[in-house]
Chain A
Amino acid sequence: MKRKLEKITNSTINELLNNEIILPSLYFERFNYHAKEVEVNLDDQNFQKEINELLIQDYKNIEKYINLITSSVNELKNETKNASTAILNKDNDTLSDIYKKMITLEKEIELLNNELFIDETTKTYNRKWLYSKFLNENLYFKDNGICTLVDIIDYEYIQKEYGELLAKNFLIFVINFISQKLKDENYDFYITRYFDDKFFIFILNENQSSIVNYLLNLEQMLLNTTLKSHSGLYIKANYKFKVESFSTKDESKSVFEKLLN
C-alpha cells in the first residue's frame, strides 16, 4: 500500500507542480483522481486501516527523532557544562572523555540526518533534503551549476513485470553506476530522488560544456549496458537525460519545470 500511496503522491505532485498556488482542496481532488487511476478506493475500510497504520508508523518515527534530538541536546548541554568545569580545573582526563562523547554524539546526529534526508532504497538524497538543505529558504539555488534529470523510463515496467526486489536492485545498480562514473571524474555532485523513476544530479561550479558533454556520454554508456543475471534475466532499459544550468539567481521551480516538462 505504501508503494501505491507513493505513486499517487508522485502523480499528484507531478500534475500540480506547474500551479502557482496549490490549495489543500485541489490537492485532495487530484489525489482522489489519481487514487482511482491506481484502483484505490479512499473510502474502503481496509485502505483506511492501512492509512492509519502508516500514519501511526510515521508518527512513531517523528516521535523517535524528537526523542533522540531532545536527548542529544540534553547530553550536549550537560557535556558543555562538564567541559567548562574541566577547563577551569585543567582536568585533562574529563576533557578527553567529553571529546569521545562528542564524537559519539556527532555520529548519532549524522545518523539522524541520514534517516531524515536519505532515500532508503538508493541512499541518494530525498526531496526533503532538496528543499530544506540544498535550496535556500526562498527555494532559490545556493550555488551555480548544472542540473540533470535522469529519467529511468522502463522502471515502472520492470517493477510491474519483475517485482519490487528486482526493480530495487536495478535502481541501485543505475545510481551506483552514475555515482561511480561521476566520482571517477572528480565532480562535486549530489543526487536526489525526485520521483520513483526520476532523479536530479546537481553538479556544482565546473566547466559546464565539458560536464554536458560528459553527461551525454554517461547516458550513452547506460543505454549500452545490458544487465544479465545468473538466474537468466536479460534486461536492457531505456533512460533519458535532460540538462539545465542553474545559478543563484534561479528559482528552483522554473529549472525543475523545464526539466520535467
Chain B
Amino acid sequence: MKHFYLPKMGDLLIIRNIISSLFKDKKIKTLFLVDILYMKDLNAIYNFDNGDFIIKQLNEILITKTKNSIPRILNRKILVKIKNTHADVFEILLYDDLTIEEIIIIKNLIYENVVSNDFKLLDKNLSINIDVTIGCSKSAEKQIKSYAEKALHEAKLNYLHYMYFDSFLYKNEFVNKDLLDILNHNINNNLVEPYFQAIMDNQSNNIVKYEALMRIFDKDGNMLMPNVFIHKAKKSRLYQKLMEILFDKIIIYIEKYKIHISVNLDYTDILNPQIKRTLLSKIKTKNVGSYITFEVLESEKVSNFNLVNDFIKEARIYGVKIAIDDFGTGFSNYENILNLDIDYIKIDGSLIKKIDEAIYLNLIKSIVLFSKQQNIKIVAEFVSDLKTLRYVKNIGIDFSQGYHIGKPMCIEELLGVKNEKKT
C-alpha cells in the first residue's frame, strides 16, 4: 500500500513564500545610483569629517524626503529601498517597472531634492551646495546594478548629470564580439594591408603621392574599413601591432615600386617610444625616408609640442615630410601650427564638402592665406566632384585628394591603373 505525504499548513506557507520570492525576483525593478560629484575635492577642501557629514545629510534627504515623495508622485504604492552602497554612492531601488517618463520624473525629484538643499558643515555657520550624477536602469535580472553602473559611468564620461541605460538593448553591446577574433586573425596571418588613395598636384594634374589607409579582412575575405575596427583595436590594445604590419608592408611597396606614401600617425603613436623607435629605425635601415610623409592628426591632445617637434626633427634627418591632418575643425589652432615644423596642412573634408557655401569658402581661403605666408603646402581632402576640384584649384590649394581623383585601392589595382596609363 502506498503512503501519500499530505503537507501541513506551515509547509504550504513556506512553499508559497519560496514561490513568491522566486516570482518576485523575476519582476522588473528600477534602480537609480546617485553619486556625489567631486567628492574627493570636498574632502580635500573641507576635510573627511565634513565629507562624512555631507554623506550623512544626503542619506537623510533620500530616506525621508525622496523616499516618501516617490509613491505620492507616481500615485501608487511602491516598495522603495535606499542604501549607501559605498563611500559617496547611494542606491535607490524601486520594486516597479517604471515607464521612461516616470523614470525622468523620479530622476528630477532626486536631483532637485539634492541640488536645492543647503548642506551644513561641522563647526561652521556655513552651508554649501553639492551636485550629483545619476545612473539608472531597469531589469528583472541580477545584473541590474551593472547596468545602472554603466549608465553612471557614461553620464560622467559625457559630463551629463543623468543617464539611463536600457538593459534590453545591452545584448547589442556584444553584437560585434567577433571583431576581436578578426583583429587577431589579421595579426597572426599578417593580413593587414594598406589601400592607397591618390593625391594630385593641382598645377600639373599628376598623381604625386598616395595616402595609405589601413584595411583588414574578415574570415570570408571581406575587407573592413578603419571606422569599423580602429576603436576596438585601440581599446583592446592591438592597434600598435596592426600599425607595425601596415608600416612593414608600406616599406616593402616603396622599395619595390618607388611610390611616395603618406602614413597616418596618431599623436599617441608619436608619444609611444616603442612605435617611434620602430618607425624611425625601419626608415633608416631601408633608406626610404624621402618617400614618406607622416600625417599627424590635429588634436586637442597635442599638448606637448616639444615631444612632437623632437619626433619631427628626428624624422627629417631621414628625409621624411610632415603633414597636419584634418585641419580646420575641432580643436584646430593656428598657434599650434606655428609651434610645429611642418610641410603640409590637410584641410578637413567636412570643410571641403561645403566649399560652395560662402562662409566655408571664406574660412578655407583664410587657411590658404595663412599657410602660404608660412610656406606650408595645402592639401584638400574630399574632392568628390569636378565642381569641388574647380573651387579648390581656384583658391590656390596645392594638392587634391578624394573620390574625384581616385578611390582607395589595393596595390594590385593601383599598379594596374599605373600600367594602364603607361600603355
Contact residues of A with B, CB < 8 Å? 154, 157, 161-163, 184-186, 213, 216-217, 220-221, 223-224, 228, 230-238
Contact = CB atoms under 8 A, between A and B. Distances in A.
Interface residues on B, range: 20 to 34
Contacts of A235: 166, 169
B151 A223 contact: no
A230 B176 contact: no
Given A162-B100, A213-B223, A232-B155, A238 B172 contact: yes
Nearest to B384: A186
Interface in B142-196: 151, 154-155, 158, 160-166, 168-169, 171-173, 175-176, 179
A162 B222 CA distance: 36
B224 interface: yes
Contacts of B151: 234
A241 B334 CA distance: 44
Interface of B: 100, 104, 107, 151, 154-155, 158, 160-166, 168-169, 171-173, 175-176, 179, 222-225, 227-228, 231-232, 384, 403
A223 B166 contact: no
B313 to A, nearest CB: 37
Given A213-B223, A216-B222, A232 B172 contact: no
A228 B225 CA distance: 24
Contacts of B158: 228
A217 B175 contact: no
Nearest to A186: B403
B160 A232 contact: yes
A236 B228 contact: no
Contacts of B231: 224
A238 B169 CA distance: 8
Given A154-B169, A161-B166, A238 B403 contact: no
Contact of B228 (A221, A234, A238): A221
19 contacts: A161-B168, A162-B100, A184-B384, A184-B403, A213-B222, A213-B223, A217-B223, A220-B176, A223-B172, A223-B175, A224-B176, A228-B158, A230-B160, A231-B104, A232-B160, A234-B151, A234-B165, A235-B169, A238-B169
B222 A238 contact: no
Given A161-B168, A224-B228, A237-B169, 5 more contacts: A228-B154, A230-B160, A232-B107, A232-B160, A236-B169
A234 B222 contact: no
Among B163, B166, B176, B224, residue most surrounded by chain A Cβ atoms (within 10 Å): B166
